[in-house]
Amino acid sequence: MIGVLAYFIGMGTGGLAFSRYMVPVIPVACALMGTLATAPRLARMAGETIGRAILTCGLLGLLATPLYRSIRQDVLLARTDSRTLARAWVLDHVPPGATVARVGARASFTWVQLPVSPIGTDPRGPSSPETLPSPWYTVVNAARLSEVARTPGVPLYVMTQEHPLRVYAHLDPDDRRALERDAELLWEISPFRQDGPPPVYEKPDAYFLPFARFEGVSRPGPAIRIFRMP
């Protein structure tokens, strides 16, 4: 118990805490439960039919919520992430050599991953026929739409990401209105259900999957829209 108390004190002094920080406490909690199970009063209860029923109900009550949440998360994780579907759509519909601007994705590990071309290299040329994937794109990452520069003659597509985890996926309202007004919406996907309750996320973490109110989402990932600029 002293070790657990020291762990909580150390964790509590930090400015940021994640739910996964509780994982090291699980073995200690299991050992504590095993010790309690050997207590004389519990041992006597376990020897009686009514006592076993009470202990079984208590154990099921302790396990019900975490078991339910684990199953619901596993069901959602078995479905394709919205970013994977967005990548597949780009590869199928955006012409090679186009510029794809990722706007609203605030961290590299939340981006939709796309094959890119090194600056100054044409993968269609004879000098490097095998070094680059096909199709390929010039990918631009920007916090605001105004930061995206256009190359004359090169098609420009804008991919936006939005999510309640605004630190990792957030589109400025002015940019959203500008895109809806001036650009052509080609494709969109949203993991959120209109008829479900707002899901509960761990706000500090870029984990696009809720840990409560699972009825509000259909798959992992942020809401994504892809526009073609005129």
- % the chain with pLDDT above 70: 91
Q: What phi, psi does 23 have (nearest 5°)?
A: -55, -45
Q: Indicate the pTM of the whole model.
A: 0.79
Check pLDDT > 70 for residue 226.
Answer: yes
What amino acid is encoded at 92 in this protein? D
* Residue pLDDT, tens place only, 172-198: 999 999 999 999 999 999 999 988 889
Helix H, strand E, coil C: the string for the chain is CHHHHHHHHHHHCCCCCCHHHHCCHHHHHHHHHHHHHCCHHHHHHHCCHHHHHHHHHHHHHHHHHHHHHHHHHHHHHCCCCHHHHHHHHHHHHCCCCCEEEEECECCHHHCCCCCECCCCCCCCCCCCCCCCCCCCEEEEEECCHHHCCCCCCCCEEEEEEECCCCCCECCCHHHHHHHHHHCEEEEEECCECCCCCCCECCCCCCCCCCCECHHHECCCCCEEEEEECC
The rounded distance, in Å, linking the Cα atoms of 192 and 88 is: 20
* Residue pLDDT, tens place only, 126-146: 444 444 456 789 999 999 999
Domain spans in the chain, listed from the N-terminal domain onward? 2-13+20-77, 82-228
Q: How many other β-carbons are positioned within 10 Å of the β-carbon of residue 61? A: 9
What amino acid is encoded at 21 in this protein? Y
